[in-house]
A and B are shown apart, each in its own frame.
Chain A
Amino acid sequence: MAKAQNEVLQGTLALLVLKSLARGPMHGYGITLHIQLVSKDVLRVEEGSLYPALHRMEQDGWISAEWGTTENNRHARYYQLTARGRKQLADEEKNWARLTQAVAQVLQFV
């Protein structure tokens, strides 16, 4: 069975999460919505892999989390970037740019 094409590329999940959080604190569900919205429904984060990823990033010290309330007065766990996370984001963005450029070059080469 072919996987849905909008499944987030392996390895880019961390980048997407970090980038989303660069705008400010967000809860897990918010992150999925944000990515889906901004990518105009092209990218969809699998909920099953989001939380392990968040947990790992938290233990790596890239993000920190605390409990808060949503605008609908719901209890939710908000994640935000740490200083180390910002640095990681910058690194990963650079990597990504290099990678896509390289892929583009290969594609343009006729």
Chain B
Amino acid sequence: MSLFARLKAMIHRDRLDRDLDQELRSHLEMRAADNVAAGMAPTEARYDAQRRFGNTTLMKEDTRATDIIGWLDTAACDLRYALRTLRRSPGFTVIAILTLALGIGANTTIFSVINAVLLRPLPYPNAKQLVRVEERHEGWTATGISYANFLDLKNNSQSLSDVSAMRWWTANIADGGEPESVQSALVSAEYFSALGIQPFLGRVFTAEEDQSGKDNVILIAHGLWQRRYGSNPQAVGRKIKVNDELRTIVGVMPPGFREPFHCEIWAPLVANGELATNRRSHLLFSVARLKPGISLNQANAEMQLVSNRIQAQNSGIDPGFTFSAADFQERSAAPLRTPLLVLFCAAGCVLLIACTNLASLLLARGAARNKEFAIRVSLGAPRSRLVRQLLTESLLLGGLGGAVGFILAFWCLALVKEPPLNELVGYAGVSLDMRVLLFSVGVSLVTGILCGLVPAFHSARGSTITAAQLHGRATAGIRNVRLRSFFVVSEVALAFVLLVGAGLLIHSFGAILRQPLGFNPDNVLTMQLFLSEARYPSDSPQAKQYLHRVLEKLESVRGVQSVGMIDALPLTGGASTDIEIVGRPIPDPNNEPEVDIRIVSPGFFRTLEIPLRAGRWFTERDTSEAPRVMIINETMARQFWPNENPIGRRVTMKDWGPPLTGEIIGIAADVRLDSPAAPIAPALYWPYPQFLNPFSSIIVRLDPQARLVLPDIKSAIWSVDKEQSIASIQTFDDILADTLTTRRINMSILATLAALALLLASLGIYGVLANSVAQRTQEIGVRLALGARPGQVLAPVVGQGFRLTMIGLALGFAVALAVSRLLTGLLFGIKATDPLTFLAVAALLTLVSLAACYIPARRATRVDPIVALRYE
């Protein structure tokens, strides 16, 4: 029917009715007149005309039904009726809406994160042109780029503009207030033009400020500006001490912008010393922009040429070096992709379970409303009207559930905007935009239809009228019970899959926590001293002197048992270096062995209670004048001297300035220097008097009985230099928690969803059994009256629930085996088909489902025979 005609009819609704009435009247009159002409009596003539017409009201309704206005009328009527029905059973309505709201809320929340991170363009102008540039080398995954290579790319690339580079930095702020250490980034001037981001106040860096001596400027984040400078515009232009150098604040970045690294201070990236020429230190992140009209492939092809030229013209480049560019958003979101998809699937499962649950409830209600439908059918309602009525009801439930779910999602998103989740999402920023709204409306509609379709058709088909039915109780057909059983089985199966997923992640997390750390983390406090280049130049006597005095002072603080220093704390990663073993042929000059390197004080091993396997520890006598010595870990000893004693061997460290050779004097037990989930790499330790870099973490072992030593520790450090800021005072528990943040988030969300699934599935089981007990009240009453023992009544109910659970488990088992592979990348120490997890989950589900069976079963045994029989 043409929409236009319908719309016209809609506008002329009154005229339509009037026309129809008039037309019918004229028809009847003409027929009556003809009848009279044929010789009938006038009354009879009129009656005959009317009789031929049959039910005029029905006919008018039919005519009107072909009209949009009629359709809308019916819809409004259905809706009113649906509202009334739902209001009449508030318990059912609330449960149904909440169930759906949880499912839709979870889906909307996760979708909004996916939308922000993966779907929506990042909030930069022409964000699709942004690329991340990395270096690739033979046998390595993508790495950062070196400064020298960055300069060559910037100066030679024809296909990229605004090639920028950046690296991590820590800034100690001293501006008269309490010294604070904030996450910072050193960025080249092109960074801001690449992103196309304008400062909120002031200006960004100029190209000249990339040069040493002119780099005494910083930009600060909006949050830092509010927190530290009370949103005072005068802050711009202010000179503050950053890492002991006076720098001018030249601008404030816009609210929420903390890229890269979630930093709060930006300073110019300056190449000094080694950094400018070393092509093997892959320290820099790089962002650039494709020139207009250039595709990613063209850019990569052109960069291949640039890489080849760099390789041909320079030495000291890792073999197989090329640049590679990837879409910035895609590359940045890569680590989040799998977890997000897993969580999205999980949320989908929860929604499916919620749907199934509701469908099952609607089916039960449909059975109870059999009488109502039978009456409507006998009054002339076509089946399609009943289906429509029921679908209206479920759509209404879906819509209400969606609305509540959207509010839930709004709350959940408030959580996503807090740390640590906001750091994962970054500047993309999660918000409920149009796409999310459409998604959630779509999901609600689909949910409403999915929940309602089967029960609606089922109930409408079942509503054949018989006199017996009108008078007797509504009994559920066999088909009805089968369908609900099928629902329960699928719910259990879905819940099983989710629980297995959550179980695997929890298991992995536990496995990581159970990893031996190789040291004793209890009663240890750590803090970071970042020695600024200005006061304590790297590897200078002043710096060594300073550290020596700090360690000495700390030893004498009451409550401190021992003190140590290391450049990068265990569990947090750190530097590595290529090495050469003196007296051993070099296997492949381009591919030398690489080991972790840490700089420690003699007290480090004692403080962390790391066992000595052979040789000796560093002592105070290993000074800068003494012969250079090193301690290696067991893995290094095993790997490089499998059948020899490494003590006394000499090793050359090649990557940090001029090659430095030292003698191995001891072997320490393995310690997890990188993340707790990473395998232990070979490592060597230098004593700090012989080699020092600006990073130093102090480790203090405390007397467990001592209290409130922190102020004493701080004042001990400040007694040596009162301007040195102390950053990140943490225990190893804190550090462990920090390094496992992403895993913990994945695990907790999936576990929450799985718990939800478990709850919904058990509700489903409960619902089916409670319903079946209610319907069999009579039968049970009779059996009890005839002397059946409660156990005999209980058994079939529990048996039914148990059987459904088992079938669901078997099905879920098969599905979980097939899909748990998705999680492989997120697991640690176990396979995706870990039998223990599968069994534990099966046991848990069985237990919960038995509990869900128990309540209806108990009710069955409590049936009062008299009441049951009176039901008749």
Contacts and interface: CB of A to CB of B under 8 A. Distances in A.
For the complex, would chain A's binding face be called helix, strand, loop or mixed by DSSP majority? helix
A52 B63 contact: yes
A47 B27 contact: yes
Contacts of A48: 53-55, 58-59, 62
A77 B1 contact: no
Interface string B90-116: 000000000000000000000000000
A59 B33 contact: no
Contacts of B59: 47-49, 51-52
Interface in B7-42: 9, 19-20, 22-24, 26-27, 29-31, 33-34
B66 interface: yes
A59 B1 contact: yes
Given A46-B54, A48-B55, A77 B26 contact: yes
A27 B9 contact: no
Contacts of A12: none
A29 B30 contact: yes
Nearest to B65: A52
A55 interface: yes
A58 B53 CA distance: 21
B27 A56 contact: no
Contacts of B63: 51-52, 55
Given A52-B62, A59-B9, A77-B26, A29 B67 contact: no
Given A29-B27, A47-B27, A48-B59, A56 B1 contact: yes
B53 A27 contact: no
B584 interface: no
Which of A47, A60, A61 gathers most chain B CB within 10 Å? Answer: A47
Interface residues of A, number: 22
B67 A77 contact: no
B793 to A, nearest CB: 50
Interface in B608-625: none
Nearest to B61: A52
A37 to B, nearest CB: 12
B6 A59 contact: yes
B16 to A, nearest CB: 9
Contact of B26 (A27, A33, A47, A49): A27
Contact of A29 (B26, B54, B65): B26
Contact of B30 (A58, A60, A74): A74
A55 B66 CA distance: 8
B52 interface: yes
B2 interface: yes
B5 interface: yes
Given A46-B54, A48-B58, A59 B26 contact: no
B146 to A, nearest CB: 74
Interface in A22-51: 27-29, 33, 46-49, 51
A76 interface: yes
B2 A60 contact: yes
A76 B53 contact: no
B120 to A, nearest CB: 43
A12 to B, nearest CB: 18
A87 B303 CA distance: 65
B615 to A, nearest CB: 98
A59 B58 contact: no
A70 interface: yes
A75 interface: yes
B26 A75 contact: yes
Contacts of B65: 52
B727 to A, nearest CB: 77
Q: Which of B20, B23, B24, B62 has the most CB of A within 10 A?
A: B23
A67 to B, nearest CB: 8
A10 interface: no
A56 B52 CA distance: 21
A72 interface: yes
A70 to B, nearest CB: 7
Contacts of B34: 33
Contacts of B24: 51
Contacts of A28: 23, 27
Nearest to B26: A76
Interface in B132-164: none
A55 B65 CA distance: 10
Given A51-B63, A52-B59, A76 B23 contact: yes
Nearest to B27: A29
Interface in A48-100: 48-49, 51-52, 55-56, 58-61, 70, 72, 74-77
A27 B27 CA distance: 9
A56 B67 CA distance: 8
A59 B23 contact: no
A56 B29 contact: no
A70 B26 CA distance: 10
Nearest to B1: A59
A104 B59 CA distance: 35
Nearest to B22: A75
Interface in B656-675: none
B26 A61 contact: no
A56 B62 CA distance: 10
Contacts of B26: 27, 29, 74-77
Contacts of B2: 59-61
30 contacts: A27-B27, A28-B23, A28-B27, A29-B30, A46-B54, A47-B52, A47-B54, A48-B59, A51-B24, A52-B59, A55-B20, A56-B66, A59-B1, A59-B5, A59-B6, A59-B9, A59-B66, A60-B1, A60-B5, A61-B2, A61-B5, A72-B30, A72-B33, A74-B29, A75-B22, A76-B23, A76-B27, A77-B19, A77-B22, A77-B23
Task: List the 10 closest pairs (A to B, CB-CB), nearest first.
Answer: A59-B5, A48-B54, A52-B62, A29-B30, A52-B63, A77-B23, A29-B27, A47-B53, A48-B59, A56-B66
Given A29-B30, A59-B2, A70-B30, 5 more contacts: A48-B59, A49-B59, A51-B59, A58-B5, A60-B1
Interface of B: 1-2, 5-6, 9, 19-20, 22-24, 26-27, 29-31, 33-34, 52-55, 58-59, 62-63, 65-67
Interface of A: 27-29, 33, 46-49, 51-52, 55-56, 58-61, 70, 72, 74-77
